[in-house]
Structure 1
Amino acid sequence: MCPMPALQLQHDPEQEALDWFTRLRQPGCDAALRQAFGDWYEHPLNAQAYARLEAYCQQLQAPAPRPRPRVVALRRSRLGLVLGLAFLLLLSVLAFLYWPMLQRLSCELHTESGERRSVRLADGSTLHLDSASAMNVDLRGRTRLLHLVQGQVAIDVMLDGRAMEVQVDDTRIQVFGTRLQLARYHDHDELVVLAGKAMVLQGGDQRLVNAGERVTFSASRINATEKADGKTIDAWRGGLIQASNMPLTQVLERLAAYQGQRVWLLNEQAAYRRVSGTFDLNQPAQSLERLAGDQQLSLFSVSGQWLIVR
């Protein structure tokens, strides 16, 4: 391409800068053209015009600023947060209410609320399950393993030369006898040995329980052994609670569990009371009404799941 022709009579740096800007970006720009541009650029007015044109072009090529997002209305944000928290709360309540039932159904052996059942195992031992109870059983190894997940069970052990061990959460019970009973409550667990012996093991702690003794334990400790009344403790198998100076809350929980309910005790003083008497497990509603009348308590059933006591 030939060099730029001689300057015209009217000198227009802006127009010439535009011409040079266009020609320099076309294919075939050679050294002679760049030399001619250099000669033209030496003039101060030309250099200023070209600099302004380059700055303008750079502005055109710069990315356009992103539009600012519209601010979501604060009311909508708060409504979404409230709805989200309400949904999570609902899920938590449903999980709390139905988790025990789902846990029971996942176990190998279980009973429904109000149901008592006896099961004979392959080794000849017999399990007597109370209402809303659940167990897993593994008899394949040298040590027969039982796991009480929920509720209460009486075990008649058949001796076959192998050891037997019962698991209650992280507590292990080595069985050296033929008859024992285990129960789980909301704040503790209980072992009663009716014949033979049993060793309760929890971490580095252990407690030997002889026939006619009972022991309570929790996740953190094993309490001292006490004398047990076998007739009173075993009465549930005949459909009765034989309470002898028993905590009121424990009687309420047992009767409510036969109706598939949990107890919510609002009367703080009642939590320290103890009761004695006979209560019919086959008619838990009537037994609860009689107990509430004797103790001057009010009972309120909520959704068939809760029994509020005040």
Structure 2
Amino acid sequence: MSGTLDPRVIHQAAQWFVQLHSPEASAREHEECARWRASHADHEAAWQKAVHVSQRLGQVPAGPGMTALARRQRIDRRDLLKTLMLAGAALPFAWAGYRGASAQGWLADYRTAAGQRRELALADGSRLQLDGASAIDLAYDADCRRLQLVRGQALLQMLDETRPFVVRTEHGCVRGQAARFNLREDADGTRLAVLEGRLEVRPRDSTQPPLQLQAGQQVRFDARLAGPVQALQEAPDAWTRGVLHLRDGRLDEFAAALQRYRPGFVTCAAEVAGLRLSGTFQLDNATPVLDSLPRILPVRVVHRTRYWAAILPA
């Protein structure tokens, strides 16, 4: 263990602590945290620091009954995370840790677990569908409807042509008034598909005028650039019916999609990440679909644990 803990590790420990002491914490999350703690001595030290801080401040009792009591007494996750971070690190790092937990979706207004889809009716009559392992925040006021896609994928049908809306992702924002569109946030960018209406897209760090899109068009954007604009391919909202249409897609992107429909991790080795595949896949049967890959590609699928599957070269 290093003499001084990296603030980023402290942040991760605080995030894990809050997540596991939520009433919604699953067995998978407990297993993932145990792996994280065991992977490095600093991780375990940071975890013990989070436990010590919480006990010292009276947030959570010590001992084996800690998790059970936390389930009976709903702990405010926002307050607990901010308390842990403020006690465990300097104020700037505390804020970063709070934002980091939000980025994972733990503090979002609405979220889904892997394999779960959720439909919501919003205050203005608009409708929202969340894909598996997704999260979104809402902030409505008299002048504008603001949403933040924290992670994952959402299909939005925004009504009320008299009031604008802004949907932000890690990579930029989408603006409009009345429109139906699909947003998916991946590690390398956000993908927008417009089914009805007109939208404008502005990457987060771009100084160029916003890009205009209309129904029947799609685009990928990262923090700097958007484009090129393309015609819609297949049905971008097919996931709402539990179906994935893939046309010459990369294997690592396919693995990321499957991960939203089964608990745990689906990793893809770099040697096979660029393999391409096409087809129509039933997402609600994600594990059988995953296990069928060796029949169509030169790969093998290894289930390291119940919650961790790896796609490797054959």
TM-score when normalising by structure 1 = 0.66
- Higher RCO (CA < 8 A, seq sep 6+): 2
- For the residues of structure 2 that align with 1:184 and 1:240, how far apart are their CA atoms? 18
Identity of aligned residues (%): 25
For the 8 Å contact 1:195–1:211, the answer to whether it is kept is: yes
Q: Of 260, 266, 277, which residue of structure 2 is paired with 1:263?
A: 266
- For the residues of structure 2 that align with 1:90 and 1:251, how far apart are their CA atoms? 33
RMSD: 2.8
- For the residues of structure 2 that align with 1:92 and 1:187, how far apart are their CA atoms? 30
Determine which structure has more spread, i.e. the larger CA radius of gyration.
Answer: 1
CA shift for structure 1 position 154? 0.3
Q: List alignment gaps of at least 5 residues for structure 1.
A: 1-79, 94-98
Q: List alignment gaps of at least 5 residues for structure 2.
A: 7-39, 48-99
1:219 and 2:220 are equivalent in the alignment: no
- For the residues of structure 2 that align with 1:293 and 1:256, how far apart are their CA atoms? 20
CA shift for structure 1 position 88? 1.3
- For the residues of structure 1 that align with 2:256 and 2:308, how far apart are their CA atoms? 11
For the 8 Å contact 1:232–1:243, the answer to whether it is kept is: no
1:198 and 2:202 are equivalent in the alignment: no
- Cα–Cα, structure 1 residues 92 and 192, in superposed 2: closer, same or farther, change >3 Å? farther
CA-to-partner distance for each residue in 1:156-202, whole Å, 9 max, x for gaps?
Answer: 11125100110112511112442101001122210010111111112
Map 1:29-68 onto structure 2 (within 5 A).
none
Residue 308 of structure 1 aligns with which residue?
310
For the 8 Å contact 1:159–1:178, the answer to whether it is kept is: no
CA-to-partner distance for each residue in 1:73-119, whole Å, 9 max, x for gaps?
Answer: xxxxxxx659x8932145789xxxxx779832310011111000100
- For the residues of structure 1 that align with 2:215 and 2:122, how far apart are their CA atoms? 23
For the 8 Å contact 2:160–2:177, the answer to whether it is kept is: no
- Cα–Cα, structure 1 residues 164 and 264, in superposed 2: closer, same or farther, change >3 Å? same
Residue 7 of structure 1 aligns with which residue?
none
- For the residues of structure 2 that align with 1:221 and 1:179, how far apart are their CA atoms? 23
- For the residues of structure 2 that align with 1:131 and 1:187, how far apart are their CA atoms? 19
TM-score when normalising by structure 2 = 0.65
Q: Indicate the SS of the match to 1:196.
A: strand
- Cα–Cα, structure 1 residues 275 and 104, in superposed 2: closer, same or farther, change >3 Å? same
Residue 280 of structure 1 aligns with which residue?
282
Q: Which shifted more, 205-214 or 116-125?
A: 205-214
Q: Of 63, 70, 87, which residue of structure 1 is paired with 2:41?
A: 87
Residue 238 of structure 2 aligns with which residue?
235
For the 8 Å contact 1:119–1:126, the answer to whether it is kept is: yes
